[in-house]
Structure 1
Amino acid sequence: MGESQFGSYLKSVRLQKGISVNQLAFDSGISNAQISRIENGLRGIPKPVTIRKLAEALKVPYEEMMDQAGHIREERMHEVPAWATHKDKRDFKKMLEEDGEVMFDGMPINDADRQRIMDVLTGFFWEAKQMNKHKKPHDSDNLPKP
């Protein structure tokens, strides 16, 4: 789904709920200018944290809105290993959503750098989960040597 399609989806949900751009801006904490740019396809697909604010303000399931934005399907789900359990996926989602400001040397990092860091963390997360699955007490003889 392209950004204009997501914008159309957002606008149709907002209109269906009878909410003005200004009201949505107030309820979500996202500027009305940014909402207008999203709806008119003048801004890229919003980040998950923005989508969560919009979904909560519009009382739409976050997963549905993320799916409409193409986030979960294309960006994240293909990275989930086949062996991951429901609990593993929940833990991963929790890690991604801990959305504190990421700082480096006292300065917040930009979105591109943050995305690169999240991609690296995604790899480390699944690597660690997989290693933990292999560390059963009776399997210790079969562990690969460092």
Structure 2
Amino acid sequence: MVNEFGSTLKRLREQKGYTINQLAEAAGISNSQISRMENGLRGIPKAPTIRKLADALEAPYGELMGAAGYLEDRDGANHAETTPEWATSKDKRDFKKMLEEDGELMFDGIPLDQEDKQRIKDVLTGLFWEAKHMNKRKKNNNGNPDGP
């Protein structure tokens, strides 16, 4: 997953004609961090970092989120492995429930369009799995036998 993200990031950067330093400046991320991502020496970045990279590259956010393993394709196939290995069936059920609640999404009293809703869903996907993983690690560090 890390290598897929890194190679996707590098491909998009090179397509844009950016050096690592140019991308770093455009995204507000250090050049060493970008280099480590591209070379698979850094873990998968968080959703807000991926958003910065996508915006700087004028690339589809979903493509980078998919390469990072956070998203599924529209047909339901995983880009990488969307659901972390440590996720239980209860975790998966909780996640599905969170995403499928059909309330009207609004910002400042204005309903969001589909693109904005998808962006929010993409960010929530990353944050949800990150929070679940952190909670599982906390339980393990407190002596709880339920592990990832």
TM-score range, shorter chain: 0.5 to 0.7
Does residue 93 (structure 1) correspond to residue 121 (structure 2)? The answer is yes
Following superposition, the deviation at residue 17 of structure 1 comes to: 1.0
Q: Distance in 2 between matches of 1:95 and 1:40?
A: 24
Name 1:109's counterpart in structure 2. none
The C-alpha deviation readout for 1:29-75, integer Å capped at 9, x for no partner, is: 00000000000000011110100000000001212211121112314
TM-score by length of 1: 0.57
Following superposition, the deviation at residue 16 of structure 1 comes to: 1.0
Following superposition, the deviation at residue 94 of structure 1 comes to: 9.0
Q: Distance in 1 between matches of 2:123 and 2:21?
A: 32
Q: Distance in 2 between matches of 1:30 and 1:4?
A: 19
Name 1:11's counterpart in structure 2. 10
SS in structure 1 at match of 2:29: coil
Higher helix share: 1
Read off the aligned partner of 1:25 and give its amino acid letter: A
Q: 1:75 to 1:21 in 2, by over 3 A?
A: same
Name 1:80's counterpart in structure 2. 96
Name 1:63's counterpart in structure 2. 62
Name 1:53's counterpart in structure 2. 52
Q: Distance in 2 between matches of 1:65 and 1:94?
A: 10
Which residue of 109, 116, 131 maps to 1:115? 131
Q: Distance in 1 between matches of 2:64 and 2:123?
A: 20
Q: Is the 8 A contact 2:71 2:122 kept in 1?
A: no
SS in structure 2 at match of 1:71: coil
Q: Computing the radius of gyration over CA atoms, which structure comes out larger, 1 or 2? A: 1
Q: Aligned-pair RMSD on alpha carbons?
A: 3.5
SS in structure 1 at match of 2:6: helix
Q: Distance in 1 between matches of 2:103 and 2:64?
A: 21
The C-alpha deviation readout for 1:108-137, integer Å capped at 9, x for no partner, is: xxxxxx725997xxxxxxxxxxxxxxxxxx
Q: Is the 8 A contact 2:20 2:35 kept in 1?
A: yes
Gaps spanning 5+ residues in structure 2: where?
73-81, 85-91, 106-113, 136-148
Identity %: 46
The number of equivalent residue pairs is: 102
Gaps spanning 5+ residues in structure 1: where?
100-113, 120-146
Q: Distance in 2 between matches of 1:59 and 1:95?
A: 17
Q: Distance in 1 between matches of 2:67 and 2:47?
A: 12
